[in-house]
Amino acid sequence: MEDKKANIIAVTIIIGLIIFIIVARVSLKLSKAFFLIAGADIAVILAVFVCTVIRGRYHRRRRLLEKKLVSEGQELRIEYSFLRKVAGVPIKFRHKELVDATDNFQALLGQGASASVFKGILSDGTSVAVKQIEGEEHGEKEFKSEVAAIASVQHVNLVRLMGYCCLPGGPRFLVYEFIPNGSLDSWIFPGRETRNRPGGCLSWDLRYRVAIDVAKALSYLHHDCRSRILHLDVKPENILIDENYRAIVADFGLSKLMGKDESRVITTIRGTKGYLAPEWLLEHGVSEKSDIYSYGMVLLEMIGGRRNVTVIENGPDKSQRKWQYFPKIVRDKLREGKLIEAVDQRLVEAGGIIDERQVKRLVHVALWCIQERAKLRPSMAQVVEMLEGRVAVDEPPDTQMIVVDLLSIYEENSGCDARPKIAAMGSHKDYNIPNSCSSSFAMSVLSGR
C-alpha cells in the first residue's frame, strides 16, 4: 500500500513537471529562462525516477528476505518439534486438550492407590493413557517422583512419558503412550479382565519373555542411567503388556533416585504388601536389591498364576483363616523334584509347551532374588544373563522366608502394633509372635519352618 502511494506521488510529480515544461515552452518560447526551467525540471524528474527505482528495489529485497526468514522460522519450528518427538521430551498439555482427548475422562483403564488412568486420543490421532493424580501433598510428591524418574530415561521396556499438565491447586496429569494389553495381573491371575482391561492366560513362552523384558528394564534403571533409579513398586499391576506381548514397566510414583556412590536410601515404608523386601520392614534402608526382591516375588506369581500370599477362608470366623505362602510351596516342590506341580495349572491342563528347564531356571532365579539377606540377591544385570542362559544358575540357598508379608499381618491385626515386633523378629532367632495378638496365625506358615 505504502509503495503504491509513493509511486502515484512520483508519477504525479513527473507529469506535473512535464506539463510545466510544456507550458514554459509555449509562454517563454526558446528563451534563456525556458532552458533554465527545463533543465531544473528534468533534473528533478530524473531524481524522482532514480529514487522510485531504488526504493522499489529495496522494498522488493526486504520482502524476499522476510519471506525467507518466515519459512526458515517455520522450518526451525518443525525441526524442533520433530526433535522433541524423536528425543521423547515430555511436553506441556493444556487441560482442555486432555478433556477433549479423553472425552471428559470417560474410559477408565485402571486405578491405583492415588491415581486413575483414562484412555484418550490426541488431536493428531495418537492413543494415550492419561493418569490423573489426586491429593494435595501426596499427589505433588508422587507427580514429582514420577516425572523425575521417567522423563529422562528411554528404554523399549519402560513406558514413555509424552507430557504433563498441572492445574493450580487441582489434580496433576501425566500423559503416557497407550499400551493396548493392560497390565500383567490380568494375564497371569484368572478373572481379572474387564471391558476396558484385556486379559487371559499368558502362555509359558510369553511369561518367560516378559520375565526377561522386566529384568532388562530394571537392569537399565539400576545400572545404565546417570543416577541409579529405584522403582520401589515392582508388581504385576505396574507391568504393562504391549500389542506384541512385550513387557513395559510403568508407575514410577514411588521411585527414588540414588547417587551412584550411595549404597542405600532411608525412606518411609511405601509400596505394596506382598512385594516388600524385609529391609523395608526392618527399616534398614532400601537399595536396588529391594526391587530385585519384588521382582523375584513377581516371577513366582508368574510361574504359579496365583498371588504369593493367599487366604483360605474357613467359615465366617476370621481366626480360623489359613494362609498359604506360595514361595514356600515352590521351594518344597523344588526339593521334591516336582516343580511342574507349582506351575499355573491352566497352562498344564491346556497342554501347551512348558520348557521344564526354563521352569527350573526361573524358579532358581526367583528364589535367589527373594533371599532375605539383600547381599545374596543377584544384580538385575546378572538376572538377565541367567535368564538368557548365558551363565549357569546355582541351586539357591535355603531361606527362612521369615519376613514375608508383615504388612499383611499388621493389617490383619489393627489395634496391635506390629512394627516393634517386626524389628525384633529381624534380630532374634525366635520368630514367634506373642499370642496376645491374633497375628500368631501366620508365622509358622510364613516362616517356612
Ligand X SMILES: Nc1ncnc2c1ncn2[C@@H]1O[C@H](COP(=O)(O)OP(=O)(O)O)[C@@H](O)[C@H]1O
Binding site for ligand X (CB under 6 A): 109-110, 112-115, 117, 129, 131, 159, 176, 178-179, 182-183, 237-238, 240, 250-251, 253
Quote the CA–CA distance of 142 and 401 in Å, as a whole number. 31
- Considering the complex, state which of residue 241 and residue 354 has its C-beta at the smaller distance from Mg ion: 241
Cell of 128: 494415550
> In 385-423, which positions are buried (b, 16+ CB within 10 angstroms) versus exposed (e)?
bbbeeeeebeebeebebbbbbbbbbbebbeeeebeebbe
Which C-beta is closer to ligand X: that of 239 or that of 370?
239
Could you tell me the smallest distance in angstroms from the CB atom of residue 160 to ligand X?
Answer: 9
Sign of CA dihedral 313, 319, 325, 329: negative
Tell me which residue of 201, 192, 185, 438 sits closest to 323, measured CA to CA.
438
Is residue 131 annotated as involved in ligand binding?
yes
The answer to whether 233 is a known catalytic residue is yes
Q: Based on CB atoms, which residue is closest to ligand X, 85 or 449?
A: 85
Q: How far apart are CA 92 and CA 107, in angstroms?
A: 22
Task: Find, among 266, 347, 342, 354, the residue nearest to 304 by Cα.
Answer: 342
Which lies closer to Mg ion via its Cβ, residue 45 or residue 214?
A: 214
Instruction: Report DSSP state, residue 251.
Output: -
Residue nearest to ligand X (CB): 112
The active-site residue, picked from 233, 251, 344, 405, is 233
For residue 176, list its beta bridge partners: 129, 161
Give the shortest CB-258-to-ligand X separation in angstroms. Answer: 20
Distance CA 269, CA 252 (A): 16
- Name which of ligand X, Mg ion, none residue 179 binds, using a CB cut-off of 5 to 8 Å depending on partner kind: ligand X
Distance CA 80, CA 86 (A): 10
Q: Which residue has the cell 506341580?
A: 341
Residue closer to Mg ion by CB (options 252, 441) is 252
Nearest distance from residue 127's CB to ligand X, in Å? 9
Residues at the interface with Mg ion (CB under 5 A): 112, 238, 251
Q: Which does 236 bind (CB under 5 to 8 A by kind): ligand X, Mg ion, none?
A: none
DSSP string, 72-87: HHHHHHHHHHHHHHHH
**If contact means CB under 5 to 8 A according to the sort of partner, which of Mg ion, ligand X, none does residue 157 touch?**
none
163 versus 253: smaller Cβ distance to ligand X: 253
Q: How far apart are CA 182 and CA 241, in angstroms?
A: 6
The nearest distance, CB 179 to ligand X, in angstroms, is: 4
- Quote the least distance from Cβ 115 to Mg ion, whole Å: 7
d(CA 204, CA 344): 9
> How far is Cα 294 from Cα 218, in angstroms, rounded to an integer?
11
Q: Which does 178 bind (CB under 5 to 8 A by kind): Mg ion, ligand X, none?
A: ligand X
Query: Closest distance between ligand X and the C-beta of residue 163, in Å?
Result: 13
CB closer to Mg ion, 112 vs 448: 112
Contact between 121 and 127 (Cβ < 8 Å): yes
Instruction: Name 132's Cβ contacts closer than 8 Å, sequence gap at least 6.
Output: 105, 115, 116, 117, 118, 171, 172, 173
d(CA 98, CA 11): 60
Contact 367, 378 (CB under 8 A): no
Give the integer Cα–Cα distance in Å for 81 and 301: 42
Q: Annotated binding site for ATP: which residue ranges?
A: 131
Q: Annotated binding site: which residue ranges?
A: 131
Q: State the catalytic residues.
A: 233
